Chains A and B, each alone.
Chain A
Amino acid sequence: MGAYFDLMGFAETGWGFDMLRATAVTLAVALSGFGFGAIFGMLSAAASLSPVSALRHLADGYTTTLRGIPDLLVIYLFYFGGSTVVTQLGHLFGAEGFVSAPVFLTGALAIGVVSGAYQAEVFRGAVLALSRGEIEAAKAYGMGPFLRFRRIILPQAARFAIPGLGNVWQLVLKESALISVVGLVELMRQAQIGAGSTRKPFTFFLTAGVLYLLISLVSGAAFRAAERRSMRGIRRA
């Protein structure tokens, strides 16, 4: 046990700081991915609830496709696709050879696109859970679509969406580990680096696992608190 704390400690020879920094990167990339996903999810939910059938089909195609293929493939597509674009742009400005796309951004975007497909379903369900009468009443008051969205739909749908979003967040957090395959030094990649240089793979991957578990515990509690808070004014059966 003492040997473990020497290895993962914060002394000069310990890996504590590296692991903590990597945990921060994991949080940052997962949060950015979740944020991108919220944007894609809202757009897709809006499209799937629109009266235009082409938009509905588009949204349906997006959610079924992205939920049916491995996240790893999407990450490869974004990383190598992004790099191809960046490389060609680089050649225009005289760079030579392969130019890698920024891993943090491509990783966060890849996670965003995947989690957007899941968030779309959450948002769609949340909007459908609103009572129709409220929307009709808002229309009767002469509210336009934007005012109606801001005053009536958003505040209530956000409340219904919290539990579903909590599930998607847990998914995103675990998915972020996959970005290690394209070289972003987040928790998983840092554990690989530590495992490689100390020949203690079990210790490092187990530590990474415990850190993921801790993040998921804390964020799970935060989502439950948010859910309770958002339901303050609601009478429940």
Chain B
Amino acid sequence: MSLFDVSFFAENFVALCRGIPLTLQLTLLSVTSGAVLAVLLASFRLSGNRVLDGLARGYIFVFRGTPLLVQLYIIYYGLSQFPELRKSFAWPFLREAYWCASLALCLNTAAYSAEIIRGGVIAVPLGQIEAAKAYGMGGLTLLRRIIAPQAFRLMLPAYSNELILVVKSTALASTITMMEVTGIAAKLISATYRPVEIFIAAGTIYLLLNFFITRLLRLLEHRLSRDQRPQLAATGEHA
């Protein structure tokens, strides 16, 4: 038995690729819903209201301070302890590993993203906000025209790190029976006892996914920072 068998590797690589759609679905679902929750949490943190700020702080502390696996198990296994919940409208969702995994990932990434968004908003230069106020902008106009576009660009590098973490975290869904890339890998490893080839194949898939995501976000950041690049600003092009 050689240490690395190329045809075995290729065969399993194809098998593992069947898990990519589920990995991507879990990522997309949790990232989009997590972003909505994160915006809400960040606005609580920035509201200046002590109660709202405290609430968001507590949420972020709990979800960043405990393992994702605990959060996942509380949702998937723990909630079944309450008979009232088992009779409620939410049960058809909370019974499914797919929705439990998405929910746990969403709640978890929201805690991290909220701080990233808050960081982006704080990083918008105060002078710009003062200038906008002097122009008579207020409330939503100020947010839409001045704060949001700049905060969005400023938070992209940190957010791309968070996206990689989410892709990696989807692997935990395999512990509650989801057959995404890591789930398939675990099944193949325990069926064949050839961990090296399967690990390299699965690892390659994750590295490629993360590579594309970071590239995509860097491209987005590049496009959004057009006005920051001096040579183009000199030709008078608008952002």
Q: Does A213 contact B (CB under 8 A)?
A: yes
Q: A91 — which chain B residues lie within 8 A by C-beta?
A: none
Cross-chain contact B206 with A73 (CB below 8 angstroms): yes
Cross-chain contact B77 with A177 (CB below 8 angstroms): no
Q: Does B71 contact A (CB under 8 A)?
A: yes
> Within the complex, what minimum Cβ distance (angstroms) separates A114 from chain B?
10
Instruction: Select which of A67, A80, A188, A195 is within 8 A of B195 by beta carbon.
Output: A80
Q: Does A77 contact B (CB under 8 A)?
A: yes
> Within the complex, what minimum Cβ distance (angstroms) separates B180 from chain A?
10
Cross-chain contact B195 with A177 (CB below 8 angstroms): no
Instruction: Select which of B169, B170, B195 is within 8 A of A77 by beta carbon.
Output: B195
Interface size on A, residues (CB 8 A): 43
Q: Does A31 contact B (CB under 8 A)?
A: no
> Within the complex, what minimum Cβ distance (angstroms) separates A70 from chain B?
3
Give the residue name and chain of the B residue nearest to A176 (CB): B67
Instruction: Select which of A68, A80, A176, A203 is within 8 A of B164 by beta carbon.
Output: A68
Bound complex: CA A201 to CA B81 (Å): 7
Instruction: Select which of B66, B171, B190 is within 8 A of A209 by beta carbon.
Output: B66
Cross-chain contact A70 with B168 (CB below 8 angstroms): yes
1/0 contact string of B128-171 vs chain A (CB within 8 Å)? 00000000000000000000000000000000000010001111
Q: Does A222 contact B (CB under 8 A)?
A: no
Instruction: Select which of B74, B203, B207 is within 8 A of A206 by beta carbon.
Output: B74
> Within the complex, what minimum Cβ distance (angstroms) separates B147 from chain A?
28
> Would you call the interface of chain A mostly helix, strand, loop, or mixed?
helix
Q: Does A4 contact B (CB under 8 A)?
A: no
1/0 contact string of A38-71 vs chain B (CB within 8 Å)? 0000000000000000000000000011011111
Bound complex: CA A67 to CA B61 (Å): 23
Cross-chain contact A72 with B174 (CB below 8 angstroms): yes
| Interface CB pairs A-B, < 8 A, 6 | A69-B202, A70-B168, A72-B174, A73-B203, A76-B199, A213-B62
Q: Interface on B for A, CB 8 Å cutoff?
A: 61-62, 65-71, 73-74, 77-82, 164, 168-172, 174-175, 182, 185-186, 189-190, 193-196, 199, 202-203, 206-207, 210-211
Q: Interface on A for B, CB 8 Å cutoff?
A: 64-65, 67-74, 76-77, 80-81, 83-84, 98, 170, 173-178, 180-181, 188, 191-192, 195, 199-203, 205-206, 208-209, 212-213, 216-217
- Given A208-B70, A217-B65, 11 more contacts at CB 8 Å? A68-B207, A73-B202, A73-B203, A76-B185, A76-B195, A188-B69, A202-B79, A205-B74, A209-B67, A209-B71, A216-B65
